[in-house]
Every structure is written in structure tokens, then in C-alpha cells.
């Protein structure tokens, strides 16, 4: 009977999550979300990361970051397990795609310095291809966009730590042509207040959909490079 009630409670939360996240201001529902046990909440949020509504997906990133950062304060090892889960979804051997995983990792690290110190180097390895060709580089463009968003988010939370990605960013600027990634690199460089002697890239005339400070906004890509 207890298991049935627990499963029903989880199903109820899983059904409620998209409704709770589909609003402009996620801060109004975060306390409610974080009142649930972390394993149950994260299970529901993993599904929300796949939601076709872009606002639901991005607010799920915010909620996951808040949840895992809070979890780390109580049980650091369990928070590490969550980080390793996101890493596994980005591994070819997992058989999955890892939608939302780079963004969640960036959000978690931006909120929690302990996890940022432990995982930032692995995260940076997602950004560019290594010299050996056998590495963690995310070849799939949407995942790589998520990783550069995560880098910018880390820079917002811990600019000094994120400066250690300078080598990867320099290499990326030599190879990347995607306007969204170039705009996110500009955002990163502005947040760390250092361009490493590089000229800012020109992402072109198009607008991009940017999730920043928990708000979705359509912005001209070039505006992030000024």
C-alpha cells in the first residue's frame, strides 16, 4: 500500500511539473518544488527536460540546478551521483542523447562551488575536440550549444573558475561558425571581463532565443558581443 501511494505521489508530481514550470516567473514555484525529496523531484525534472515547450525545458534546468545544489549541502555524494548521471547521458555508450544535461551541469556548478571545482575540467572538455580525437567533445550541435550556455552560466556564478576555459574558448573561436555559440562565447567573455587578447566574434544579424536570469528572451546575437 505504501509503495502504491508513493508511486501515485510521484506520478502526480510528474504530471504537475510541466504546469508549474510553464509560467514566466519560476521563482514563485521553486519553494514548492524544492519541498519534495530530491530523488522524486529530479526524476520528474528529467522528463521535463524533454518537454516540447521551451520555457518548461529551461525552467526545468533552473529547478534541477537549485535541487542538486541544495542536495549537495546535505549529501554531497548523492549530488555527485546526479552529476555523474548527467555525464553518462553525454557518453556515446549510454545510448541516449543527453538533452538538457550540459545546461543542467552548468546551472548546478554556477550554484555550487564545491561541485564546480570538482567537475569544471570535465565540463570544459565538452567544448572542443582534443588533439587525439578521442575525448568528450560534443559533436551534436544542440548539445554543444547547451555546453556553451553552461559555460556562460558558470561564468555568471564563478567568473574566476570559468576563466580556466580560456584555452578551449580560443580553440572554439577558430572552428565554430554557429551564431548562437558565437553569441554565447561573447556572453562568457563579457562575464569574465577578459577577452584573452582575442577579438570578439561576429555572430551575424540573426536573433537567438536566450534563457538568462530565469527569463526567455529573443535577442539580436550581436547585442551579446558589444
How does pLDDT run across 131-144, given as a tens digit for each residue? 655 589 999 999 99
Q: What pairs with residue 207 in β-bridges?
A: 220
CATH numeric code, 2-225: 1.25.10
pLDDT of residue 2 exceeding 50, the answer is no
Sorting pLDDT into bands at 50, 70 and 90, what band is 5?
Answer: very low
Q: What is residue 31's predicted lDDT score, i.e. its pLDDT? A: 95
Domain boundaries, the chain: 2-225
pLDDT digits (tens, 9 = 90+) for 162-186: 999 999 999 999 999 999 999 999 9
What is the reported pLDDT for 29?
95
And the C-alpha cell for 58? Answer: 529551461
Digit-coded pLDDT (tens) for 36-69: 999 999 999 999 999 999 999 999 999 999 999 9
Q: What is the DSSP letter of 218?
A: E
Closest Cα to residue 87, out of 57, 129, 124, 62?
A: 124
- Indicate if the pLDDT at residue 8 is higher than 90: no
Residues 6 or more apart whose Cβ sits within 8 Å of residue 64: 42, 45, 49, 104, 107, 108
The pTM of this model reads 0.93
Mean pLDDT of the chain: 92
Stretch 22-44: mean pLDDT, rounded? 95
Whether the pLDDT of residue 226 is over 50: the answer is yes
| pLDDT number for residue 198 | 73
Q: What is the dihedral of CA 103, 96, 51, 146, to 10 degrees?
A: 20
Three cell numbers written together for 38: 530530491
Q: What is the SS3 assignment for 127-180?
A: CCCCCCCCCCCCCCHHHHHHHHHHHHHHHHHCHHHHHHHHHHHHHHHHHCCCHH
Amino acid at each position: 500500500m505504501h509503495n502504491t501511494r508513493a508511486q501515485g505521489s510521484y506520478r502526480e508530481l510528474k504530471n504537475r511539473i510541466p504546469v508549474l514550470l510553464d509560467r514566466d516567473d519560476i521563482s514563485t514555484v521553486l519553494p514548492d518544488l524544492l519541498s519534495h525529496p530530491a530523488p522524486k523531484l529530479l526524476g520528474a525534472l528529467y522528463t521535463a527536460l524533454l518537454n516540447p515547450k521551451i520555457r518548461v525545458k529551461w525552467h526545468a534546468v533552473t529547478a534541477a540546478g537549485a535541487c542538486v545544489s541544495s542536495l549537495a549541502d546535505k549529501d554531497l555524494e548523492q549530488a555527485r551521483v546526479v552529476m555523474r548521471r548527467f555525464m553518462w547521458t553525454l557518453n556515446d555508450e549510454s545510448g541516449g542523447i543527453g538533452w538538457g544535461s550540459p545546461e543542467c551541469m552548468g546551472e548546478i556548478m554556477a550554484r555550487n562551488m564545491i561541485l564546480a571545482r570538482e567537475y569544471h575540467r570535465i565540463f570544459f572538455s565538452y567544448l572542443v575536440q582534443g588533439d587525439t580525437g578521442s575525448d568528450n567533445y560534443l559533436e551534436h550541435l544542440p548539445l554543444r550549444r547547451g555546453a556553451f550556455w553552461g559555460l556562460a552560466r558558470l561564468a555568471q556564478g564563478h567568473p574566476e573558475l570559468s576563466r580556466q576555459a580560456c584555452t578551449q574558448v580560443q580553440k572554439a573561436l577558430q572552428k565554430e561558425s554557429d551564431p548562437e555559440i558565437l553569441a554565447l562565447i561573447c556572453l562568457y567573455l563579457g562575464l569574465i571581463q577578459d577577452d584573452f587578447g582575442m577579438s570578439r566574434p561576429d555572430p551575424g544579424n540573426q536573433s537567438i532565443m536566450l534563457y538568462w536570469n530565469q527569463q526567455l528572451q529573443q535577442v539580436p546575437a550581436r547585442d551579446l558581443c558589444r
